Amino acid sequence: MRSESENVVAAFTIDQTARLTGVSKRQLGTWDRDGFFSPSLVSGARGAYSRLYSFRDLLSLRVLHQLRNETRVKLEHLKEVKADLAHLGDEMWVKSILYLRGRQVVIEREDETRFEAGSGQEVFQIPLRVVVGGMRERIRDLNRRDESEIGKIERKRGVVHNHPVIAGTRIPVSAIKEFAEAGYTVPQILGEYPSLSKEDIEAAIAFEGELNAA
């Protein structure tokens, strides 16, 4: 189970989610209202930050978007694919390939016997590790910051309840410290926060100021 601070890492608004996945805001809203795909991070707050999508949400949405638009897989079958993706562990996400057999979507391990098409038959496939890598790169591009902000801590009014954050982001210093105190190494923390740098993590760990709002 992910901790609350870990969720801060992978919390994306509907605007950000639309840009990162290719699914329009209108489609995201429809899928949410219809109960097909709702954001994982829901709070009692109001506004843009009341319903946020996690990193895993982004990955699944990206795959579902490709299937819906490139292969015209029916919505009813997409629901089954969504459920299958939700049950994949983090390790399996980077070791599996999604195939389309006729109109049936199948998820298999890369090191297992793969589906082979007949002569001249094209096979639609999505290596999930490519989806993961591509999404991390999209997030880095979305969150690209000024070089002067790298390795700096700041506190801005109205940003994360005035708590200190990594400069140019909404990631609280307290979230980084929680990982460090739990025994995570800097490289491991970077794996959880793909948009940050080694300098950001080290600055947060070394921060000795007041973590609560000023």
Partners of 165 in the beta sheet? Answer: 154, 172
Tell me the average confidence (pLDDT) per consecutive run of 10 residues in the chain, 214 residues long.
40 87 92 92 66 90 90 86 87 85 79 50 77 88 82 83 85 90 91 85 89 56
Q: What pLDDT is recorded for position 6?
A: 37
* DSSP bridge pairs for 109: 96
State residue 7's pLDDT score.
Answer: 36
Beta bridge partners of 51: 42
Per-residue pLDDT at 93: 85
Q: Which two tokens stand for residue 63?
A: 């795959």
Give the integer Cα–Cα distance in Å for 160 and 83.
32
pLDDT given for residue 4 in this prediction: 36
**What is the CATH code for 4-142?**
1.10.1660.10
Backbone angles phi, psi at 104, to 5 degrees: -105, 130
> CA-CA distance, 200 to 9, in Å (whole number)?
13
- Does residue 136 contact residue 192 with C-beta atoms inside 8 Å? no
Which pLDDT value is given to residue 124? 77
pTM of whole model > 0.85? no
Q: What are the boundaries of each domain within the chain?
A: 4-142, 147-206
**Is the four-CA dihedral 31, 24, 192, 43 of positive or negative sign?**
negative
CB atoms within 10 A of CB 194: 18
Domain 147-206, CATH class in plain words = mainly alpha
What's the confidence (pLDDT) of residue 114? 55
pLDDT at 9: 46
Output the pLDDT for position 209.
75
